[in-house]
Amino acid sequence: MPRDATTTVSPDDYPFAHRVRVRFAETDAMAIAHHASYLPWLEEARVAFLRAIGYPYASIRADGLDFAVVEATVRYLRPARFDDELAVHVGVADPPRATFALAYLLRRGDETMATARTVHAAVAPDGSARRPPEFITDPSLRVR
Amino acid sequence: MPRDATTTVSPDDYPFAHRVRVRFAETDAMAIAHHASYLPWLEEARVAFLRAIGYPYASIRADGLDFAVVEATVRYLRPARFDDELAVHVGVADPPRATFALAYLLRRGDETMATARTVHAAVAPDGSARRPPEFITDPSLRVR
Amino acid sequence: MPRDATTTVSPDDYPFAHRVRVRFAETDAMAIAHHASYLPWLEEARVAFLRAIGYPYASIRADGLDFAVVEATVRYLRPARFDDELAVHVGVADPPRATFALAYLLRRGDETMATARTVHAAVAPDGSARRPPEFITDPSLRVR
Amino acid sequence: MPRDATTTVSPDDYPFAHRVRVRFAETDAMAIAHHASYLPWLEEARVAFLRAIGYPYASIRADGLDFAVVEATVRYLRPARFDDELAVHVGVADPPRATFALAYLLRRGDETMATARTVHAAVAPDGSARRPPEFITDPSLRVR
């Protein structure tokens, strides 16, 4: 997959989906969801995904590990609006390397709203690199 | 001063002022600054105030002290809009107790935009109470 | 009820509850939920409450009405942390006047985490005052 | 320039710089600036850039034009911390097309903190496409 937010827009290609509803606080004076609001949604979906696969992020952090975000890209396709319910589909994106990546597809009903990609590094509290978590090699968690 | 956000709307009554400019990200679909945006402005003004009086918050925190927010009240008088430049006036509000308080006046030019009040407790990293900082007894830093 | 965030801490006194989970984006360097994060939670609970009583906020806005926030107060009792699930209890707080008020109780399990109060004015898009919505006189929606 | 956040890390290559200071509200429980905080900084720098070149965004919007964000990428190189002062360097990035792009370099003193890129479309309030603004063809505003 390329380094930008290009990813499949077929929801069935993702192993997990999480629903968010656009808060009024997340809108802006264009009467749409502000583009910065998407990153916390991706994060919330990521945390829900980790919990669902038995990897709750709070306990990862308690174990002294963090998944630092080293890159984030969002491609905004259609504006989301206040009170919209969005499905955030998520899955592992890249072959394992020093970093790992997740890809995202945001849909409102059948509409593709946005695609996204975040790149993470596993780091210790002192910032030193750790091995990526094992789930990133699990084929069932990958975007097809 | 009462416990709510009632405070003097005369800017000369405050020992310090800090300027903020409304970000587009801080607006909402009513095309005004979202009400939650004000708390980070108060905080930014508070941090600038502490720096100006020789009490930089980063070094307070490095000394193992935090000023936890135990109460916050904002009274919204006029809507602020994207790109507005606001003066956030700030000063010590209350007679010293276990907690201490700051009062705020937000103005756009000569217009009173909002008043606010935050109540803080000095706490150690473990959450235990500490003595309030000495500046809160300094008469020159108080709202008149 | 007084003008500040004093409200009953018995969840049974509220006609409605909404659940939120603390996002990582909502924490701060004290490793707790930042105090400004609470206002969007109150708003999300308010919107869910309005939807539940047949008053979806998106259609209220489509009808040219807004519930402007004219005052907000939060009393922070216990720090909330990343991934905490909180119940936000909400109900109508005040006798009807030109403005109307909602009161909130935030709990994590059986712990009281925070209380809050928001005051609203019904306004037309041009900012002129409108009559408060009728639900605020419904005794079943009031905080006891 | 590639589609991701790859851009020159030499500040002299940018026609404009804007300073931001990391708010406490923008930190997270890793005690660093949360990755979503960067997008409002880029936006604030973009708005300041537009103002500096005689293109104040508020009047652009008053003219019925918006610069919708259609893509955003940030590459996070070093964590920024509370109260850090950052210089956000900004300039036009791409040859004009239907969209236009800006590139960003974030520095703390002499350290490269992050690079970024946002892609915009000029749109009318009804969402229909408009011609990109003329400044994007001005060679003096381009990243070298």
Per-residue model confidence as pLDDT tens digits over C72-123: 999 988 888 999 999 999 888 875 567 888 888 878 888 888 888 888 888 8
Q: How confident is the model at residue B4 (pLDDT cuts 50, 70, 90)?
A: low
Average pLDDT value for chain C: 84
Instruction: Provide residues of D within 8 Å CB-CB of chain A.
Output: 2-5, 29-30, 35-36, 39-40, 43, 61, 66, 68-77, 79, 127
Range B53-68 average pLDDT: 81
> Chain B partners of D34 at a C-beta cutoff of 8 Å?
none
Q: Which residues of D18-41 are buried (b: 16+ CB within 10 A; e: fewer)?
A: bebebbbbbbbbbbbbbbbbbbbb
Asked if residue C72 lies in contact with residue C119, where contact means CB atoms within 8 angstroms, the answer is yes
pLDDT recorded at residue C1? 39
| Residues 6+ away with beta carbon under 8 Å from A119 | A69, A70, A71, A72, A94, A99, A100, A101
**A85-92 β-sheet, strand order:** A16-21, A85-92, A99-108, A111-123, A66-76, D66-76, D111-123, D99-108, D85-92, D16-21
Enumerate residues 6+ apart whose C-beta is below 8 A from C109: none
Question: Given a cut of 60, is residue A96 above it in pLDDT?
Answer: no
Q: What are the pLDDT digits (tens) for A13-56?
A: 888 899 999 999 999 999 999 999 999 999 999 999 989 988 88
How confident is the model at residue A127, as a pLDDT? 73
Residue A5: the pLDDT is 66
**Kind and range of the H or E run holding A59:** helix A57-62
Question: Could you tell me what percent of chain C has a pLDDT over 90?
Answer: 26
Sign of the torsion formed by the C-alpha atoms of A19, A23, A29 and A34 = negative
Interface of A with C (CB under 8 A): 21, 23-26, 39-40, 43-44, 47, 56-58, 61, 82-83
* C131 phi and psi angles, rounded to 5 deg: -65, 140
Distance CA C91, CA C96 (A): 13
Question: Measured between CA atoms, how close is D59 to chain A, in angstroms?
Answer: 14
Whether the CA torsion D12, D18, D22, D25 is positive or negative: it is negative
Q: Is the CB of A76 less than 8 angstroms away from the CB of D61?
A: no
Arithmetic mean of pLDDT over chain A: 84
For A127, nearest residue in chain D (alpha carbons): D79
Q: What is the mean pLDDT of the segment spanning A115-119?
A: 84
Q: Over the stretch D31-75, which tens digit does the pLDDT of each residue have?
A: 999 999 999 999 999 999 989 988 888 888 787 777 888 889 999
Residues 6+ apart with CB under 8 A from C59: none
Cβ contact B23–D39 (<8 Å):
no
Q: Is the pLDDT of residue B27 over 90?
A: yes
Q: Map residue D37 onto helix, strand or coil.
A: helix
Q: Provide the pLDDT for residue B3.
A: 54
Q: Do D36 and C25 touch (CB under 8 A)?
A: yes
**Least CB-CB distance to C76: which of B40, B70, B76?**
B70
Tell me, what's the pLDDT at D7? 83
Residue D109, H or E segment: none
pLDDT level of residue C126 (50, 70, 90 thresholds): confident
Assign D3 a pLDDT band (cuts: 50, 70, 90): low
- Is residue B36 within 8 A of residue C40, CB to CB? The reply is yes
Residues of chain A positioned with their CB less than 8 A from the CB of D79? 68, 127
pTM reported for the whole predicted model: 0.87
Q: Give pLDDT, residue A2.
A: 47
Of A25, A56, A58, the CB nearest to C43: A25
Flag whether pLDDT at B2 surpasses 50. no
Res B98 pLDDT > 90: no
Which residues on A lie below 8 Å from B40 (Cβ)? none
* Tokens read off for C96: 């009807």
Residue predicted with more confidence, D97 or C47:
C47
Q: State the pLDDT confidence band at B95, using cuts at 50, 70 and 90.
A: low
C-beta separation of D104 from D90 below 8 A: yes
Q: What is the pLDDT of residue A1?
A: 39
B26 contacts in chain D (CB < 8 Å): 40
